[in-house]
């Protein structure tokens, strides 16, 4: 499976500020995704990061709050904008491998964000 | 109704026993099914994937899929304390373009 790294691994931020999280993969992958895991909860998909085009957001998530970039097949960023304490979560990127319909996703180590 | 449902647990089993984890999903057209293990403070780790009805075995793990009943399970044989973690069931919905819908997870505790 691909080796996935995320930066930063954790951060503590003040409300109203923004944080950009980086996801780097050691090989080219077709699909990259961003998830949120709130304290004690399961994973919720934020968006699919599309290479060369705008990300596809899930219901409840908007580009102004979570802008995403995907400049190439090995790298993506997620920005959490105008943060509030409710944004305190673990943010995870994942990559999809294999063909359509049988894609398996592997997760990066996550970024633990605390907003004060 | 939640799209993917799991009993939150905790499921407590003695060391050496079989742990049985269950998951139901609401969308009959779902095609791909995954089990992830997540240790506290860590990211999810893929254990098994299953796409066809029946059983799929990998070492001490067996995934079972019944599409007619919209049910997928994970059996862990010879459970070890190191298996203590939260197990997440994930499903790719029809036309989901490979995205995953996760259940809330079942916390498994294996005691010596």
Residue B21 distance to chain A (closest CA, Å): 16
| Per-residue model confidence (pLDDT) at position A51 | 86
CA-nearest residue to B51 within chain A is: A102
pLDDT at A102 over 60: no
| Per-residue model confidence (pLDDT) at position A101 | 46
B31: left (phi over 0), alpha (psi -120 to 50) or beta: alpha
Beta strands in chain B (DSSP E): 4-5, 11-14, 19-25, 32-38, 45-50, 54-58, 61-66, 71-76, 85-92, 101-102, 106-111
| Per-residue model confidence (pLDDT) at position A99 | 57
Q: Which residues of B touch A45 (CB under 8 A)?
A: 99-101
Q: Do B34 and A43 touch (CB under 8 A)?
A: no
Residue A18 distance to chain B (closest CA, Å): 23
CA distance A49 to A30: 10
Q: Mind listing the pLDDT tens digit for each residue in A30-60?
A: 889 999 999 888 899 999 998 888 899 999 9
* The two structure tokens encoding residue B46: 């893929």
Q: Mind listing the pLDDT tens digit for each residue in B43-70?
A: 999 999 999 999 999 999 999 999 999 9
Q: Do B46 and A43 touch (CB under 8 A)?
A: no
CA distance B36 to B40: 13
Q: Which residues of A touch B90 (CB under 8 A)?
A: 43, 105
Question: Which one, of A102, A85, A84, A104, lies nearest residue A94 by Cα?
Answer: A104
Residue A6 distance to chain B (closest CA, Å): 11
| Per-residue model confidence (pLDDT) at position A2 | 83
* Closest partner CB to B100 (pick from A45, A90, A101): A45
Contacting residues for B105 by C-beta, under 8 A, at least 6 apart: A42, B6, B8, B38, B86, B87, B88, B89
Q: Do A33 and B88 touch (CB under 8 A)?
A: no
Q: Mind listing the pLDDT tens digit for each residue in B71-104?
A: 999 999 999 999 999 999 999 988 766 789 999 9
What are residue B17's phi and psi, to 5 degrees?
A: -85, 175
| Per-residue model confidence (pLDDT) at position B25 | 95
Q: Which 3 state secondary structure label does DSSP give A87?
A: helix
Q: Do B105 and A100 touch (CB under 8 A)?
A: no
Q: Do A41 and B31 touch (CB under 8 A)?
A: no
Q: Do B31 and A101 touch (CB under 8 A)?
A: yes
């Amino acid at each position: 499976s691909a080796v996935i790294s995320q930066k930063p691994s954790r951060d503590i931020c003040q409300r109203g500020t923004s944080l950009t999280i980086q996801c780097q993969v050691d090989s080219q992958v077709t699909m990259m995704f961003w998830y949120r895991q709130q304290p004690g909860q399961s994973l919720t998909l934020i968006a699919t990061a599309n290479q060369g085009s705008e990300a596809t957001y899930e219901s409840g998530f908007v580009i102004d709050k979570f802008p995403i970039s995907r400049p190439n097949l090995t790298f993506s960023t997620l920005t959490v904008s105008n943060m509030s304490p409710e944004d305190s979560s673990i943010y995870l990127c994942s990559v999809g491998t294999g063909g359509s319909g049988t894609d398996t996703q592997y997760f990066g180590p996550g970024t633990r964000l605390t907003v004060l | 109704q939640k799209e993917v449902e799991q009993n939150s647990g905790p499921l407590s089993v003695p060391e050496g026993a079989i742990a049985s984890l269950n998951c139901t999903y609401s969308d009959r057209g779902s095609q791909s099914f995954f089990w992830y293990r997540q240790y506290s403070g860590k990211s999810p780790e893929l254990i098994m994937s299953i796409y066809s009805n029946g059983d799929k075995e990998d070492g001490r793990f067996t995934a079972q899929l019944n599409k007619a009943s919209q049910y997928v399970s994970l059996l862990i044989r010879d459970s070890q304390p190191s298996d203590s973690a939260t197990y997440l069931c994930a499903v790719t919905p029809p036309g989901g373009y490979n995205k995953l819908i996760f259940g809330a997870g079942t916390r498994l505790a294996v005691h010596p």
